Structure 1
Amino acid sequence: MAEPILTLENAGLRQGGSWLFRGLDLTIDARDRLALIGRNGVGKTTLLKLISGEIDLDEGRRAVSGSLRVVRLEQDPVLTGFTTLGDYVRAGDNPPSDHLLASVADRLGADLDRDAATASGGERRRAALVRALAEEPGLLLLDEPTNHLDIAAIEWLENWLDRYAGGFVSISHDRAFLTRLTKNCLWLDRGTLRRAEVGFGGFEDWSDRVAAEETKNASRLDAKLRQEEHWLLRGVTARRSRNEGRLSKLIELRAVRKAMTTGDAVSKLATTSDDGKTKILIDAQHATKHFGDRAILTDFSLRIRRGDRIGIIGPNGAGKSTLIRMLLGQMEPDTGIIKRAKSLNPTVIDQRRQRLDAENGVGKTVRDVLADGGEWLEVNGIRKHVAGYLKDFLFDPSVIDAPIDGFSGGERSRLLLAREFATPSNLLVLDEPTNDLDMETLDLLEEVLDDYAGTVLLVSHDRAFLDRVVTMVVALDGEGNSEIVVGGWSDWAALRKEKAAAARSNRPKATNSNAPATPKRAPAKLSFNDARELADLPKKLELLTAAVARHEAVLADPALYTRDNKRFTSVSAELDKVRADLAAAEERWLTLAEKEAALA
């Protein structure tokens, strides 16, 4: 039976004049993989701080096993006193070797030479993640670890955590991340912490059963608790049927979009119409953009139609924001043309939600933000009362005259979504909209996007959200190349694997020496050095694959970390290096094989 490494017994914490939670019990074992789930504002981050010992309990007991090192990933790390991000990372309780530090930083896209004083929020968060991982704690507390990471970095982080010898607790909106990694769920709801021995993939079934039971008992509870019943009905009980309906509709939209993309009549459509029936909002043809010697886009063509839901993906710095600005007319291509319908009326919501801060200062109320101080607003041509509209966005109507400067970050994000979706537009642009949103708000955002009659351009690294929302993916590789795939992120990932497999299977095979010669011009061949490298690569790949397996077998021993920490660190660093060598060798083999096939 697993030994507990940390416990909270009858834990209570006051916030202001009331209890944030009370009578809370929690046991964490050495290899636990826990998803901590709950709405914004229920105290998830505070609970992590209690677990880490950063704040003291008002009642109850916290017990830690032996010399357990607990590290919490900070959402907003304090860099005061540090010259560079590297100085901050190396100031941890267990400074790593330079080799391990450089390896982790490279995979997470963190520039450790960056000036700490001028680093962006995303750069600071990536540095904090490097520091947390490199300290190699026995218990890792992760607060939104995938924020500001691109998909490649998220996948690397998943692989790192998959072989991590310690336990971890993670708060995350990234469903794909939680589904792959977690084996247990903690649900913090209205001061109560529930635990289920299922990973996040089983959370909906479990939470549905809990919510159904609470709803059944709600009539026996006092009036105050009954007022909160809408959270259960809105956030949990109805989630299943809503999701199924949305996903069915999305599948139909993807099928229609695929037919439009491949149809012969598509090329005959024009963008000259300026009435409500305009079919094409933006038509990009052979657009190219360079910054100095670096290619951002090369020969990019895309027709964006009314009703499209387009997800734009790619590594950080690949040019996603540049593409958005070009499509909106804020920047012109170096070559090629981009036509826009005269009726184009975009609304842009950036990932920092700055428009709410810039346009609504201290003292503004919810009513001021949504209805300019009035009682009514118009949404998609329908007149709605502010109180009713607030319910649609999971707000209690009683906050109608509350000042927004007292709202949490999650509440402000939700209020901004409410305001922007009430703004007339036919194109909605969202830049990383899922950052810092809880699960209920993500479900709500999916619903609102489903009801939105216009076109959506979505920049996101959230794979599950892309799969549940978009009809088409535009993937940028950072070297000017782009790929357009009808479907979601999973469709693009599957196509990428198919192409890689096809390239391997299409490698030229040896021909029968007895076959009659065909009088054709001799095909071009690889250079001597390239041909020799291609011939040697299969053996190299075999050796590297075997080395990865050996190192993984060593790290599979759950007791290695505590028994021989130095060897655990050494083998982990070597495994990172071998994995990188293997990835580079596979990429080189694929490049040479494709080159050989093209020459032949």
Structure 2
Amino acid sequence: MLQFKSITLRRGVKIVLQNASFTLQPGEKASLVGRNGAGKSSLFSLLTGRLQSDQGDVEMPPRWEIAEVAQDMPETETGATEFVLEGDRPLMAARAALAAAEAADDGHAIGDAHALLGEVGAFDAPARAQSLLLGLGFRVSQLDAPVNSFSGGWRMRLQLARALMCPGDLLLLDEPTNHLDLDALVWLEAWLLRFDGTMLVISHDREFLDAVTKVTLHLDETQVTRYGSNYSGFEMMRAERMSQQQAAFSKQQEKVAHLQRFIDRFKAKASKAKQAQSRVKALDRMTKLAPILTSADFEFEFREPQSLPNPMIVMDDVSVGYGDNVIVSNISKSVLPGQRIGILGANGQGKSTVVKTLAGAIQRLGGHIQEGKGLSIGYFAQQELDVLRLEEGPLAHMVRLARDVGPQAREQELRDFLGRFRFTGEMVGQAVGSLSGGEKARLVLAMLVWQRPNLLLMDEPTNHLDLTTREALSMALNEYEGTVMLVSHDRALLREVCDEFWLVTGGEVRPFDGDLDDYQKWLLEQSKEMAKRAREEDRAMQSRKVTAPAAPIIAAPVVEAPASAPVSRDDRKAQTASRLKLAELTKPLKKQQQQAEQALEAAQKDHARVLAALGDTGLSPAARAEQGRRLKELDDRIAELELRWMELGEQIEAMGAV
């Protein structure tokens, strides 16, 4: 088991943990939750030995293998599959042992190394690595692409695949969902549910935690409290605990009253619209969490829009993309006041491109977009945090926004407004570049709220937000009276905010008739179909490489006449003569290829027999050494025969193409 015993940890002058204790049993899957800066990543560093505690002990079985996602951005020419394979430390050790044994020409060591490779699953390791890559959204054509050819987000997916490749007893995951879209997220959940080791995960994705964990460790005020439940159960239990604390009662009741007024407002409209009905369900859950939400000490709301054009946007046969590359076409849709639209689709299908086009960030490639009179768009882009002026403070951003976009305001009014987003005192002048990702996201939200938009286009707004700030965003969007179009992998946010979905797939946008559960089922079906096709293609490739007869390599007629052009009798005679001549010319090569194939099959059978014999614990050292040398000879022989078989096939194909 894993035990923290009276751990105290200081980082500089700050005490992160003080006399903290908890236990995880083998096979338990737990989440580590707490505010940003509470010390969650420091706790991970204690487990991996990068930090040492000031007091207390961390105890775990000495032979446990720890796997974690490296946070550095890899820069290497290594292919994607090989990079992931390198995460399997036992496999790398077995490979190194074989290389050392071969260099020393030590037959005994060679035999042991081959036996070790069999034990660590070396023969199916590439297939397992590629399965991880495909599950995380990589295409077949990218499996051997150099690591440094991928963008930052995809390199972090490679780091995640590399961590999952390691047969770890303890798996540490720090924000594994940040760079995943919804289909990859669903796949990851299914993989983790099958993982039989112990797991500890840090994440701000509520539904992800609910799906993969059954224990919650809450890090708060230097203490770790264990809850025997997933995240939703933890919220309820902690809310009950907080409700019993008299010191917080007054503040808590003020929050409850605020939430109740909020709910009553929508209950009055519930009979009028389907949208109101779905939002009331989300708010009913929030009332139960009123005590826990008091700990967030952060809330905000979007100002009431000055107008609600009807329709807001009309798209007629619109095409979107970049340059000459059309990604999505034939979009003919209207966006109406009050709609809550979630935009679904796999990574790379064009979700963000559609939103960027509507926001005016990129030009449409075709069709027509008609905007309603008085339309005011608030756009939260994935890269919005990168376009903030890093050398300026939050107040300078707000002053410029009020001056250039409006509405106008005095400096004190802007300071008060920023205070509602937890920018107070000297922090309003602090350079944005020194702020955390969550603080930058709150600044972008503040700038959106100030503009009083009537259409919100939000592309992954929660990437840098902690759980309590996500709750505040969900509540604000539910209270907002304008229209929302949302791209997000945060399913809790999609469920609580959206009541209809658009699916971007196959170069088109179409309504998705179902909820998020239906979408996840659809994704799993698509994933199974892709995996089935991949297996069929792999079997076909292996069959062509080793077991396929030589004859089918040659296409009988080199060029077929079109069906609409009848072939004359003379032409048929000429084609027949050509085929006979080709068959005569290639006959010796085909015979050689068949002989090479038979020899290859025999060598592979011998290899399997020798490998099985190495597993016999009764072998003498001399016999084991001899078997090791024999195995090396067979490896070389198999490689030679495979190369010969392929060369003959290429010669036959070349003759057929003449």
Question: Structure 2 length normalisation: TM-score?
Answer: 0.62
What is the rounded CA distance, in whole Å, between the counterparts of 1:317 and 1:253 in structure 2?
38
Counterparts in 2 of 1:481 and 1:419: CA distance versus 1, 3 Å: closer
What is the rounded CA distance, in whole Å, between the counterparts of 2:266 and 2:215 in structure 1?
26
Out of 35, 39, 43, which is 1:43 matched to?
A: 39
Contact 2:6–2:21, Cα closer than 8 Å, also in 1? yes
Does 2:204 align with 1:173? Answer: yes
Match of 2:181 in 1: 150
Corresponding residue SS for 1:343 = coil
Alignment of 1:401-416 (within 5 A): 401-416=429-444
Deviation at 1:384, TM superposition (A): 8.1
Q: Structure 2: which 5+ runs fail to align?
A: 92-121, 278-305, 526-658
Q: Deviations over 1:203-224 (max 9, x none)?
A: 221120232234x1459xxxxx
Contact 1:86–1:113, Cα closer than 8 Å, also in 2? yes
Deviation at 1:427, TM superposition (A): 2.4
Corresponding residue SS for 1:361 = coil
Please state which structure has a larger fraction of its residues in helix.
2
Alignment of 1:151-300 (within 5 A): 151-214=182-245, 216-217=246-247, 255=274, 276-288=307-319, 296-300=327-331
What is the rounded CA distance, in whole Å, between the counterparts of 1:104 and 1:54 in structure 2?
28
Q: Deviations over 1:286-308 (max 9, x none)?
A: 33457899873353322112332
Deviation at 1:474, TM superposition (A): 0.9
Question: Structure 1 length normalisation: TM-score?
Answer: 0.67
Out of 510, 529, 550, which is 1:483 matched to?
A: 510
Match of 2:500 in 1: 472
Letter matched to residue 194 of structure 1: T
Q: Structure 1: which 5+ runs fail to align?
A: 220-228, 259-274, 499-600
Contact 2:316–2:368, Cα closer than 8 Å, also in 1? yes
Does 2:389 align with 1:360? Answer: yes
Alignment of 1:72-471 (within 5 A): 72-74=68-70, 76-81=71-76, 83-92=78-87, 93-95=89-91, 97-110=125-138, 111-214=142-245, 216-217=246-247, 255=274, 276-288=307-319, 296-331=327-362, 336-354=367-385, 357-362=386-391, 364-371=392-399, 385-386=413-414, 388-394=416-422, 399-471=427-499
What is the rounded CA distance, in whole Å, between the counterparts of 1:345 and 1:167 in structure 2?
50
Counterparts in 2 of 1:27 and 1:204: CA distance versus 1, 3 Å: same
What is the rounded CA distance, in whole Å, between the counterparts of 1:27 and 1:380 in structure 2?
56
* Percent identity over paired residues: 31
Contact 2:77–2:147, Cα closer than 8 Å, also in 1? yes
What is the rounded CA distance, in whole Å, between the counterparts of 1:388 and 1:472 in structure 2?
36
What is the rounded CA distance, in whole Å, between the counterparts of 1:486 and 1:322 in structure 2?
22
Letter matched to residue 472 of structure 1: E
Does 2:8 align with 1:12? Answer: yes
Out of 54, 57, 61, which is 2:50 matched to?
A: 54
Letter matched to residue 23 of structure 2: T
Letter matched to residue 485 of structure 2: L
Deviation at 1:493, TM superposition (A): 5.7
What is the rounded CA distance, in whole Å, between the counterparts of 1:112 and 1:239 in structure 2?
53
Q: Deviations over 1:149-178 (max 9, x none)?
A: 222221111111111111111112222211
Higher relative contact order (CA 8 A, sep 6+): 2
What is the rounded CA distance, in whole Å, between the counterparts of 1:322 and 1:70 in structure 2?
39
Contact 2:326–2:365, Cα closer than 8 Å, also in 1? no
Q: CA RMSD in A?
A: 4.0
Deviation at 1:365, TM superposition (A): 3.1
Corresponding residue SS for 2:453 = coil
Letter matched to residue 369 of structure 2: I
Q: Deviations over 1:201-245 (max 9, x none)?
A: 31221120232234x1459xxxxxxxxx97x889x9789869967
Greater Rg, structure 1 or structure 2? 2
